[in-house]
Structure 1
Amino acid sequence: MVREARIEAGMALMAVAVGVVAGFGALAFRALIAVFHNLFFFGRFSTAFDALKHAEASTWGAWIIAVPIVGALIVTFLVKTFAPEAKGHGVPEVIDAVHFKRGFIRAPVALIKALASSISIGSGGAVGREGPIIQIGATFGSMLARWTRIPEWQRLALIACGGGAGIAATFNTPIGGVLFATEILLVEISARTLIPVMIATGTASLIGRAFFGDHPSFILPPLVLDHPVLGSGMPALAAYVVLGLLTGVAAMAFTRSIYWFEDLFQRMPGNDYLRHVIGMAIVGVMMYLLLQHAGHYYVEGVGYATIQDILNGGLTAGGLVLLLAVLKLLATSLTLGSGASGGVFSPALFIGATLGAAFAAGLHVLFPGVDISPATTAVIGMACMVGASTGAAVTAVVMIFEMTRDYHAIIPLIISVSVAYSVRRLLMVDTIYTMKLSRRGQRIPVAIQSQLYLARRALEFIRAPFTCLDADATLGMALDLRRGHYRTPRVVLVENGRLVGVVPARILRAARRGLERDLPLRDLADTHVAVVQSDIRVFDLIAALRQQQCRNAIMTRDGAMENAGSVVGVVTWEDLVENTNLSDYLDHGRTSDT
């Protein structure tokens, strides 16, 4: 108990440290984005930048097209030279570290990720800031674990602490940060892992609120907050279900588009510099044309100003917002596909909000009597896109609520996000995070399962028939015995009370075809057999078989073989797989200890 208390206290202190770093990391990262945005767009050094307001037109005029190109050259140099892991949207690399690298993340990743992503965003790249913050927090968690030489389960928990704290500090969503860590990063759900995550996210949120203020990420007008979301009854509810269906398809298209463009750029001749320049040049042209014809750059950066316009009711033209959704998807795919560094969470919010607003506009044309607010459909669209594309459905519902404080939308949020998630899951198994790893041949668990059967006694859980025969018995004698059993029995061969070996059921089934009945069973027996106690748990039995490198075990009351009467059960590796879904456990489950 004393040792466990010390471990918990140590984890709590380290979680506070991770939360502090993530909180101040979010502060520094935002400042970096502001600095680079002002440098690239206006040629001045300043940290003044409000993401909820559209960027002013740059003093460079048409030369603004060159700004993303310059940013692309710098980002490519940083990534290629110092940290290839910093390329892309970050979260897949954290998941990779958790599942395939035992929680080890190289120290330079955090610094290079912060610089590369802030330059990508500041120069007009259509990416978000949450992915880099997650990677920064996770990197510090991994580094702290290595410095303190703690066990692997604690190292993985600290990585989740960093990721959740980064989300919490960035969006002022402490509960959403906990849920994000739970759904995406944690491989063990228990008090010893959840409490550190809560401590880290709470700490980071306090730091974020101290500097950014205690207000939601997006401001909804009072009329929207007071508007009954289900005022039209069943027609409104049906509309939200349809919105979930549409955004589920859009989430699939968003995910595939990013990796399709990545493959496209990889097939292009030239080097990484040229590819990234081409992608960002197209984004620069899109920015300039939107400024000339729509009044703002719109697709550049995180895009929160556009979302805020929709929520304020200032951007309701259905054709324009639908066009912005398509252009943002294209710009994000070009930015990330060509080699930029940045997150996908913010683009998902943008696409979801614009699709939601376009859906409301179209609905008002087709069904004027349906009382649905564009701001509400934008909120629901954001949650649907995030939940469906990332696979973190619960996180999406709670985070969008925390980001808007619109409690009236909770029920439609839950329904629509569930529909969107199911549609995307039906169309493709991978999420926007796991698809990058699946393309490398790395399989990520689809669930964290509680393997309750592992703690049960193997003998009572696996009741395989067996029989004891003399070591001189023949195959024909064993086959004759099989007639009295519904399942093929396992045969234990004994000679003068001494164990000779075990003939598994699969060997007997195979031996029926083509082998003579007078064949000695001894020739078919596995002589390397484990002897275990009859009250052994399934988990311990698996460990014993692995340790002794056996595939078959006999059970006796005291774990010793005295005579044939001592045997109370026989278990083969095939029995374990068949009766306990062991293959699923080996593929998806993780033990909580080292």
Structure 2
Amino acid sequence: MCQSALLKRLPRLLQPNQLAIFEACLIGLVSGLAAVSLKQGTGAIGEWRLHLAHQYPVWLVLPAVGSVGGFLCGLLIERAAPEATGSGIPQVKAALGHVSIALNARVAIVKLLSTLLSLGSGLTLGRQGPTVQIGAAIAAQLSDWVPTSPDHRRQLIAAGAAAGLAAGFNAPIAGVLLVVEELLQDVSGLTLGTAILASFVGAVVSRLLGGGGLNVNMTGLHTSFSIAELPLFIGLGILAGLLGSLFNRGILLSLQFNRRVLKVGLPWRIGFAGLISGLAVAFLPAVLRDTSGLQGVWITSELGWKITAAIFVTNFLLTMIAFGSGAPGGLFAPSLILGSALGYLVSTAAQNIQGMGIPLGVEFGEGLVTTLALTGMGAFFSAVTRGPITAIVIVFEMTTNFNLVLPLMIGSVTAYLVAETTYNGSIYKHLLASNGIHLKPETAIDTRLSGLTAADIMQRRVKTVSSQMTLDEAMQAFARSHHRGFPVVDSGKLVGIITQADLTRITDRQLAGDQFLNLIMTPNPVTVSPTDPLTQVLYLLNRFKVSRLPVLDRRKLLGIITRADIIRAEADKLSGDKQAGLKIEPSYVVYQTRAPSIGQGRLLVPIANPQTAESLLQMAAAIARERNYELECLQVILISRHQSPAETAVSTTISRRLLKRAARLGEEWQIPVHTQVRVTHDIAYAILEAIKDRHIDLLLMGWKGNTSTPERVFGSVVDTLIRQASCEIVLVKTPPSASHDAPPTLDRWLIPTAGGPNSRQAIQLLPAFARLTQQPQVFLCQVHQAEQLPSDLEALKDAMVFLSNRLRCPVVLRSVCANSVSEAVVDLAQKDQCDVIVLGATREGLLQQVINGNIPEEIARQCACTVILVRGAIE
């Protein structure tokens, strides 16, 4: 595409600062246009809906329009972009937290159209949340068109979100604060500069074209505030904090109800919510049947407290129903509406109390009532979003009234503190958690990755091939090597790369073996420079779906980086010890026994917990018997860093008792069993030394299923082993109730599979594990998202055939459609009453779980059964 080619040339034509300015202006312009289109479109559809309600019975028109519009909205999202559900802000937070969630032009368009349908149909949601996702999606699409670093991409997405909020509210400062306070939490110069410029452009475009904020007249406001009125504003903040927490809980309960009770498709859920909203609004006064009517509650006090209270309750409930259905729409505008109504009700209640003869020392007038209503807007917004600064600035920018700043600060901060005390965390954090996404602090990630560059992790000795090598010679080179790809170098310059995937072109194009390699190689491959940080390397590997990156300096090949190199290099960063000043000495073997070396390989079992040792040894023996392996049992004694392992006296009585149990089991299974006891400063490194010294092929060890250690995925020891151990690894989490006298039941097995190499290795372990039970049953499943067809069904069928032939027991094949892998697996395990879940996880996936969240940990934490995680050997 010419457009794409032109955009890719921009980084070469512009300086970095100039490129950032250009991108920010473009993002702000498009976000502003989208916000204006959304406002004008929802207004036009709303007028059409009200026009029909005047011509025909309102109790028939509003529910009909709501249900049909909601159904069409859900159908559009389900078919085109499932990521467009809800407000969109949780999706943006997840994308900024390195979670793989689609943000592109398709999502932006679907979000715009579906929000038009949902809001135009009468659902009581806001359009400002969707504009945040639309702006972020536009920025993400631009970053895909223009090559950039992962850090710069995140800054662009944050700037797009800021521009979306600024255009929705005509509040550019609030857009910037949203980035700092809620989304990116970064105050670097580039982040602030890009966000400020994008917000400014978005707000200007929106205001020039009539986008506007809420549909209220903010001019000529009369406000007042005095010290005597302070208790009123504190009380309003407390009430807003309590009701805001209740509102958040209601939103989450509504989502759970739709997912677990209704269990119908998204179109039906949104259509049902539209039907209820239409019926409820039909019984409100005619002036309030449009969203703009509700948004004017705070300024039209002529309605009286009874109607205002009814509006508050109705809007409170209808927003929970609409949002819980998954309808596209935000919580910003509903929060402000509810807050304004709450502020008016508090002022009415205070006037009635004073009218009953209880002196409050306050003179009520139009200025105080207006101030309470506007303060309520900020307070309720702060309680829901947990962004008090953003709340203060949004209301201030909408009114441009400096007299409101102090009461807004009092009400918003009070509401925030009360809400945090009663229900910790913003609504967006809980929404992500309900989908199994737990974002880790960005500062921790940056600290871990900050010191590594491509030069630190690359392999300097690289085997290369020439473009003039024949195809037959290339195939022989692959056959003789364990490498899956080679750089192609001519005259010391990189001209391409050849991988095993490229070899398929020989057959597809029917090429002769004496033709040259340049016919099938990939020219101009993706490369990095030696000074590129690890974040850039990871970004390129994931974006271009490659497994290796050549490292170049002016086209000269310096080295190559594979995914395994990154795992090994980053392990030192991830396992950094707090006592780094004390050197870790090699472990010392204080006890060992040897059996005849007659096996074809060795399986290592570290034994630590006597309660689970029996079940681990049984599994290890079953695998060893199936593969004709010898069993190596290890007990580790940990000592202080201030002591030397070779000179410290330790007692091995308990250790030898555990190891003798393993020796007896070996005699029962007729398997050679070796044992050893090591004294060490670090358990993980003692196990790694045993793996190296004893040439271990497979490591089987216990796993708690969760970790309380910050910045860890599986725990300190397991994290180190799973990244550095070159052998195959099997982690076993046994149920809490398991013990030596009551071993876990292992009859019903659930194997989720994606068809990858480690999934196949997990499946190949089943024949060995089947030795542990008399009547095994196997459930083989694949989880895929709603918008995607099941991938690699052939691999799934092959696995079923393999298990059916080897196990000779029932094997049930299932394909599950779900947005959350962990939730789907947990639900399936509970439904089928499975005893064991076997998971195969790729090595690079384990590395990314540090950033993206840990699916195996989520499954193990929620399931009371045995969970087994398999990771293949590292090349």
TM-score by length of 2: 0.51
Contact 2:215–2:295 under 8 Å retained in 1:
no
Equivalent residue, structure 1, for 2:679: 524
In 1, Cα distance between the equivalents of 2:447 and 2:431?
A: 32
Deviation string 1:360-390 (CA, Å, 9 cap, x unpaired) is 1001111354235221111111101111111
User: Compared with structure 1, are the counterparts of its residues 407 and 69 closer, same or farther at alpha carbon in structure 2 (3 Å cutoff)?
Assistant: same
Deviation larger for 406-415 or 127-136? 406-415
Match of 1:285 among 260, 268, 279: 279
Contact 2:297–2:337 under 8 Å retained in 1:
no
Matched, 1:20 2:21: no
In proportion to residue count, which structure has more helix? 1
In 1, Cα distance between the equivalents of 2:189 and 2:445?
A: 14
Match of 1:411 among 406, 412, 434: 406
Equivalent residue, structure 2, for 1:82: 80
In proportion to residue count, which structure has more strand? 2
In 1, Cα distance between the equivalents of 2:222 and 2:587?
A: 83
Contact 1:217–1:403 under 8 Å retained in 2:
no
User: Compared with structure 1, are the counterparts of its residues 83 and 207 closer, same or farther at alpha carbon in structure 2 (3 Å cutoff)?
Assistant: same
Deviation string 1:221-260 (CA, Å, 9 cap, x unpaired) is 63614x3x12xx2x41111111111001111121122222
1:523 maps to a residue whose letter is: R
User: Compared with structure 1, are the counterparts of its residues 321 and 216 closer, same or farther at alpha carbon in structure 2 (3 Å cutoff)?
Assistant: closer
Contact 2:87–2:328 under 8 Å retained in 1:
yes
How do residues 382-397 of structure 1 correspond to structure 2 at under 5 angstroms?
Answer: 382-397=377-392
How do residues 173-572 of structure 1 correspond to structure 2 at under 5 angstroms?
Answer: 173-212=171-210, 218-220=216-218, 222=220, 224-225=222-223, 227=224, 229-230=225-226, 233=227, 235-266=228-259, 267-268=261-262, 270-291=264-285, 295-298=286-289, 300-301=290-291, 303=292, 305-311=293-299, 313-315=301-303, 317-368=304-355, 369-371=361-363, 373-445=368-440, 462=579, 488-491=640-643, 514=654, 523-525=678-680, 526=685
Matched, 1:42 2:51: yes
1:323 alignment partner, SS class: helix
C-alpha displacement of 1:164: 0.5
In 1, Cα distance between the equivalents of 2:441 and 2:354?
A: 40
C-alpha displacement of 1:17: 1.0
C-alpha displacement of 1:168: 0.8
C-alpha displacement of 1:262: 2.4
Contact 1:58–1:64 under 8 Å retained in 2:
no
User: Compared with structure 1, are the counterparts of its residues 345 and 448 closer, same or farther at alpha carbon in structure 2 (3 Å cutoff)?
Assistant: farther
Calculate the aligned-residue CA RMSD, in Å.
Answer: 4.0
In 1, Cα distance between the equivalents of 2:267 and 2:68?
A: 10
1:128 alignment partner, SS class: coil
User: Compared with structure 1, are the counterparts of its residues 472 and 354 closer, same or farther at alpha carbon in structure 2 (3 Å cutoff)?
Assistant: closer
Contact 1:352–1:378 under 8 Å retained in 2:
yes
Equivalent residue, structure 1, for 2:144: 146
In 1, Cα distance between the equivalents of 2:444 and 2:413?
A: 21
Contact 2:100–2:852 under 8 Å retained in 1:
no
Contact 1:90–1:131 under 8 Å retained in 2:
yes
Equivalent residue, structure 2, for 1:482: none
User: Compared with structure 1, are the counterparts of its residues 347 and 403 closer, same or farther at alpha carbon in structure 2 (3 Å cutoff)?
Assistant: same
Deviation string 1:132-187 (CA, Å, 9 cap, x unpaired) is 11111110111111111211111111111111001111211111110012222215
In 2, Cα distance between the equivalents of 1:325 and 1:81?
A: 35
Deviation larger for 273-282 or 24-33? 273-282
Contact 2:590–2:678 under 8 Å retained in 1:
no
Contact 1:216–1:405 under 8 Å retained in 2:
no
Equivalent residue, structure 2, for 1:500: none
Note the residue ranges of structure 2 that are not aligned, 5 or more in a row.
Answer: 1-10, 356-360, 452-572, 592-638, 657-675, 690-715, 726-849, 854-875
1:297 maps to a residue whose letter is: L
Deviation string 1:570-589 (CA, Å, 9 cap, x unpaired) is xxxxxxxxxxxxxxxx7899
TM-score by length of 1: 0.73
2:330 alignment partner, SS class: coil
2:283 maps to a residue whose letter is: L
1:524 alignment partner, SS class: strand
Note the residue ranges of structure 1 that are not aligned, 5 or more in a row.
Answer: 44-56, 475-486, 495-502, 530-541, 552-585, 590-594
In 2, Cα distance between the equivalents of 1:274 and 1:470?
A: 63
2:140 alignment partner, SS class: helix
2:123 maps to a residue whose letter is: G
In 2, Cα distance between the equivalents of 1:268 and 1:214?
A: 37
Match of 2:61 among 64, 67, 70: 64
Q: Size of the alignment, in residue pairs? A: 491
C-alpha displacement of 1:354: 0.3
2:296 maps to a residue whose letter is: Q
In 2, Cα distance between the equivalents of 1:511 and 1:587?
A: 41
In 1, Cα distance between the equivalents of 2:266 and 2:134?
A: 24
In 2, Cα distance between the equivalents of 1:67 and 1:216?
A: 23
**RCO higher in structure (CA 8 A, sep ≥6):** 1
C-alpha displacement of 1:413: 1.2
